[in-house]
């Protein structure tokens, strides 16, 4: 089960496609749906997040509209999971530098808050947004332990 979350309202993020290896995609959610935190995603899901971002936050390219730090990211993901469910893997794809640091901050927040099982895998990737999100087995991803 693969779920895509657009954590930006920028048109380039909305139009970003995934490599065909991600298919089938169970659902793709807009920022409005994600921010409502009521999606009920089942346990064991793989979540692909698409946004602009850097080492400190993800969201829109220009600050001030959608600005998501690691703790808020954790709350958004968990708030969209079904009761008691945790994701199997989260892939964070951005077009800005520093996404491994952001993904590491998410991992630390999750461990500190004990929200996710230690086996939830977190990956980060950063490339120009005009490209499709790389396949899940691509070497473009950095796994954060």
pTM of the prediction?
0.95
3-state secondary structure of 109: helix
pLDDT digits (tens, 9 = 90+) for 17-73: 999 999 999 999 999 999 999 999 999 999 999 999 999 999 999 999 999 999 999
CB 89 within 8 A of CB 120: yes
Kindly state the average pLDDT of the residues 69-78: 96
CB 66 within 8 A of CB 108: no
Domain range list for the chain: 2-144
Please state the φ and ψ torsions of residue 142, each to the nearest 5 degrees: -105, 120
């Amino acid at each position: 089960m693969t779920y895509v979350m657009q954590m930006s309202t920028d048109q380039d993020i909305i139009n970003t496609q995934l490599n065909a290896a991600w298919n089938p995609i169970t659902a793709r959610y807009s920022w409005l749906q994600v921010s409502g935190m009521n999606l009920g995603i089942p346990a064991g899901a793989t979540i692909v997040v698409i946004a602009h971002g850097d080492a400190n936050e993800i969201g829109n390219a220009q600050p001030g509209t959608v600005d998501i730090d690691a703790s808020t990211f954790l709350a958004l993901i968990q708030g969209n999971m079904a009761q008691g469910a945790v994701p199997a893997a989260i892939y964070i794809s951005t077009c800005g530098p520093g996404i491994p640091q952001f993904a590491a901050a998410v991992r630390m927040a999750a461990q500190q808050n004990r929200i996710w099982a230690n086996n939830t895998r977190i990956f980060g990737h950063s490339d120009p947004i005009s490209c499709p999100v790389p396949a899940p087995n691509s070497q473009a991803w950095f796994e954060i332990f």
